[in-house]
Amino acid sequence: MSKPADPGPACPAVAVRLDGITKHFGEVVALHEVSLHVRRGELMTLLGPSGCGKTTLLNIVAGFLAPDAGEIAIASARVTDLPTYRREIGMTFQNYALFPHMSVASNVGYGLRARRVDKSEIAGRVAAALDLVKLTGLEDRKPRQLSGGQQQRVALARALVVRPKVLLLDEPFSALDRNLRGAMQVELREIQRKLDVTTIFVTHDQSEALSLSDRIAVMTEGRIRQLGSPDDVYRRPADRFVASFVGDVNVLRARLERRDGRTATVVLGAAHVTVPSGPLDGAAPGAEVDLFVRPEDLRIADGDTAVVAYGVVAAQVYQGGHVDLHVESPQLASTRVLLRIPGQSAITRWPVGTRVDLALATEEAVAFI
């Protein structure tokens, strides 16, 4: 999964090519032969826990760090040995890194002045960029006079105004509060689509990754563990790490019934579940396997369907749009099983202590040995 098919060296559909990138910090291997092809206009997310190498990879694309081995190409041109300022990138930083001694307009125009663009043209492009991020009228403010969200917009305008070949975003929303974050995410996605700018986005927030990305590269310990669409990564995780890092998941005790080619059938109580057979290579029929089931893929049985196990409601967590039920079911798992029930009725229907029958709301899942 970590090595996509080679589309050829001059393929115009690839905006950023990373081939066999390796980076050590002393004894620590930060990146291990990472290859990644980012398509033109795509929003590619590097997702992983802190220390997984995602920021190191971004810094290598930016040219802040040099890889020990491997090649980088931006827009079909090899840039491995090119310094940052000649890579024609745009980047935003976690703390925005707005120049404190310059006004908003000077910040946004900085890249154009560095490129020796005509003064009259600079004024027009700065105004357009500020209009794009809805900051018109704040040209003369200093960064410290702006709110976090406004600073974020200035940083974005500053990076976009130079028409970069690739936009690099380093945890852009981590400093914003929750409400603002959601709004900024939607806005970023709109702007990114409108300008059709290739974007590499680094985050450790899996819900952010799922909602924003065209594709996600899930990283851990210096490797890409899975590369795929948000749905791929969420519905068809390649391994245990991806399954448990992206979204909430229940790990349930199940039994392998049979394998037929690319799929396999797993039995959980009275239910039969189809899973990809790849991760179960080497398991014989009858073997115990771990079935990974999302909280929304479990439900309380109505007497009609195949019950997988019974359990006792141990806790209810009201979440507004849905209710999380924590159910003790020793048959299924040693820890509590999490169910996500839409609406609020679960609160009154299944109070704490109720004995419930659990059923699956899906016929597909993934299982690992």
Give the range of 60-68, 187-195, 258-266, 355-363 binding another protein by CB under 8 A: 60-68
3-class secondary structure, 180: helix
The residue (of 100 and 353) whose beta carbon lies closer to another protein is: 100
For residue 225, the minimal CB distance to another protein (Å) is 28
Length of the chain: 369
Tell me how crowded residue 182 is: count the other CB atoms within 10 A of its CB: 15
Per-residue binding string, another protein, 168-207, x by CB under 8 A, is x------x--------------------------------
Shortest distance in whole angstroms from residue 166 CB to another protein: 11
Stretch of 155-163, 235-243, 290-298, 354-362 contacting another protein, by CB under 8 A:
155-163
Give residue 211's identity as a one-letter amino acid code. S
Contact between 75 and another protein by CB under 8 A: the answer reads no
Q: In the bound complex, what is the minimum distance in angstroms from residue 101's beta carbon to another protein?
A: 5
101 versus 119: smaller Cβ distance to another protein: 101
Least Å distance, CB 214 to another protein, is 23
Alpha carbon distance 208, 222 (integer Å): 21
Partner residues linked to 47 by β-bridges: 203, 218
Q: Which of 66, 84, 183, 342 binds another protein (CB under 8 A)?
A: 84
Instruction: Show contacts with another protein in window 94-123 (CB under 8 A).
Output: 95, 97-101, 110-111, 114-115
Only one of the segments 79-87, 190-198, 300-308, 327-335 lies at the binding site for another protein (rule: CB under 8 A); that segment is: 79-87
130: phi then psi, degrees, rounded to nearest 5:
-70, -35
Interface pick for another protein out of 143, 222, 247, 269 (rule CB under 8 A)? 143
Q: Give me the least distance between CB of 65 and another protein, in Å please.
A: 11
Residue 144, interface with another protein (CB under 8 A)?
A: yes
- Contact status, residue 36 vs residue 227, Cβ threshold 8 Å: yes
| 3-class secondary structure, 350 | coil
Among 62, 238, 275, 289, binds another protein (CB under 8 A): 62
Q: What's the CA gap between 224 and 273, in Å, rounded?
A: 28
Question: 180: which residues sit within 8 A by CB, 6+ positions away?
Answer: 148, 149
Map tokens 């690739």 to a residue.
Answer: 166
Beta strand pairing status for 166-170 and 89-92?
parallel
Q: Which stretch binds another protein (CB under 8 A): 81-89, 201-209, 253-261, 296-304?
A: 81-89
Q: Is 341 in the site for another protein (CB under 8 A)?
A: no
CA distances from 104 to 136, 153, 353 (A): 10, 10, 58
Q: How many CB atoms lie within 10 A of CB 369?
A: 13
Binding residues with another protein: total (CB under 8 A): 31
Report which residue type is found at 368: F
147 lines the binding site for another protein (CB under 8 A): no
90 binds another protein (CB under 8 A): yes
- In the numeric block, the tokens 């900085």 are attached to 110
Nearest to another protein of 167, 246 (CB atom): 167
- Using the structure block, give the residue that is written with the tokens 């579940």: 273
- Distance between the two ends of the chain, CA-based, in angstroms? 19
Amino acid 88 reads E
Interaction site with another protein (CB under 8 A): 62-64, 83-91, 93, 95, 97-101, 110-111, 114-115, 143-144, 148, 158-159, 162, 168, 175
